[in-house]
Amino acid sequence: MPKNIKKQPNIPQSLPPKGELSKKEEEVPFEEQFLMVVEEMPEIIGRLESIQRNVVYPETAIRAGIEGTVYVMAFVDENGNVVGAEVIKGIGGGCDESAVSAVMKAKFKLKK
Q: What integer pLDDT is reported at residue 67 of this predicted model?
A: 94
pTM recorded for the entire structure: 0.65
State the pLDDT confidence band at 86, using cuts at 50, 70 and 90: very high
Q: How many domains does the chain have?
A: 1
In terms of residue numbers, what domain contains 94? Answer: 23-109
Least confident of 2-6, 19-23, 92-96: 2-6
Task: Choose between 24 and 86: higher pLDDT.
Answer: 86
Nearest in space to 90 (alpha carbons), one of 72, 108, 78 = 72
Beta pairing, strands 108-109 & 43-44: antiparallel
Q: In sequence order, what are the residues at sequence separation of 6 or more whose Cβ sits closer than 8 angstroms to the Cβ of residue 64?
A: 93
Q: 35 lies in a domain? A: yes
Q: 4 lies in a domain? A: no
pLDDT, mean over the chain:
78
Q: 47 lies in a domain? A: yes
Least confident of 37-41, 68-72, 93-97, 108-112: 37-41
In angstroms, the CA 66 to CA 63 distance is 8
Q: 11 lies in a domain? A: no
φ and ψ of 48, to 5 deg: -60, -30
State the pLDDT confidence band at 38, using cuts at 50, 70 and 90: confident
Q: 14 lies in a domain? A: no
Q: 2 lies in a domain? A: no
Mean pLDDT of 68-86: 93
Q: In the predicted model, is pLDDT for residue 22 greater than 90?
A: no
